[in-house]
Amino acid sequence: MVAGERERLPGSGAAVEVARLPRGRHDLPREFVSRTQRDRLIDAMARVVAEKGYPNASLTEICAAAGVSTRAFYEHFTDKEACLLAAFDLGVELMQKTVAEAFARPARWPQRIRCGLDTLLRVLAAEPAFAVLAVVEVLAAGPRARERRRLLLESYSGFFADVPQRPGGPVVPAGVVEAVIAGVYGIIFDLVSTGRAADLPDRLPDLTYFVLVPFLGPAVAARVAGSG
């Protein structure tokens, strides 16, 4: 995983592995127990949704996977949708932080795009349960979840703020950035929805070319896409 050990994406199983609460009476602080239960539920949400699909993921299954009672679930979330949104928000925050850090490394804009895209693909490949939740099942979770997805895709337009202008080159039509982002998302969706998230990093060269070619032309896009 690219992020730090304490910053694992939902679905990694880290919350269950690290924070097993003892049964029966214990002297653990209530705040710690509450935080641990919430972390485990968020992690379990991603794992169960990845396996069953959001519509078929029951609260009973989610709570069982988390090792948390249904009663405790309602101390943290009003319903299944609220838990999924929490998992999506947490995972996206960590993922975007990692991608932004990669994009911010000193380099020319095309190389920065390649580096950020490489990081995104590797994060999703390394955390397939979160990838399913955030890319595929979010579409089945209702209008609030779909709005979260829309805002996520919209946020990627910020990576195009520093597109260099080609001297004498044609003006890139408005809307191309949105189309490029949608195209990359489409490829990611296809691979994740068919259980091939592990193949995402292999698509870096062609996706890099696809992202860069409208702005820099085929020669530069091919050179950057093929660079190591």
Domain range holding 163?
92-225
What's the burial of 110, exposed, middle or buried (CB within 10 Å: 0-12/13-18/19+)? buried
Q: How far apart are CA 8 and CA 98, in angstroms?
A: 11
Q: Tell the burial category of 33 from Cβ atoms under 10 Å away from its Cβ (0-12, 13-18, 19+).
A: middle
Structural domain count, the chain: 2
Last residue of a domain, one of 81, 107, 131: 81
Domain assignment of residue 87, yes or no: no
The CATH number of residue 59's host domain is: 1.10.10.60
Question: Do residues 77 and 104 both lie within one domain?
Answer: no
Same domain, residue pair 77 and 149 = no
Q: Are residues 206 and 146 in the same domain?
A: yes
Neighbours of 36 (CB within 10 A): 20
Q: Which residue has the tokens 């999703």?
A: 124
Tens-digit pLDDT profile for the chain (228 aa)?
343 334 789 998 754 544 454 554 455 556 645 678 899 999 999 999 999 999 999 999 999 999 999 999 999 999 999 999 999 999 999 999 999 999 999 999 999 999 999 999 999 999 999 999 999 999 999 999 999 999 999 999 999 998 887 777 777 888 999 999 999 999 999 999 999 999 999 999 999 999 999 999 999 999 999 986
Give the list of residues 6+ apart from residue 58 with CB closer than 8 angstroms, or none. 52
Are residues 113 and 216 located together in one domain of the fold?
Answer: yes
Whether 105 and 70 map to the same domain: the answer is: no
Distance between CA atoms of 131 and 138, rounded to whole angstroms? 10
Distance (Å, whole) CA 8 – CA 130: 10
Is 63:73 a contact under the CB 8 Å cutoff? yes
pTM, two decimals, is 0.87
Which tokens is 86 given?
A: 């929490």
Task: Check whether residue 66 and residue 111 sit in a common domain.
Answer: no
49 found inside a domain: yes
**Of 81, 103, 129, which residue constitutes the final position of a domain?**
81
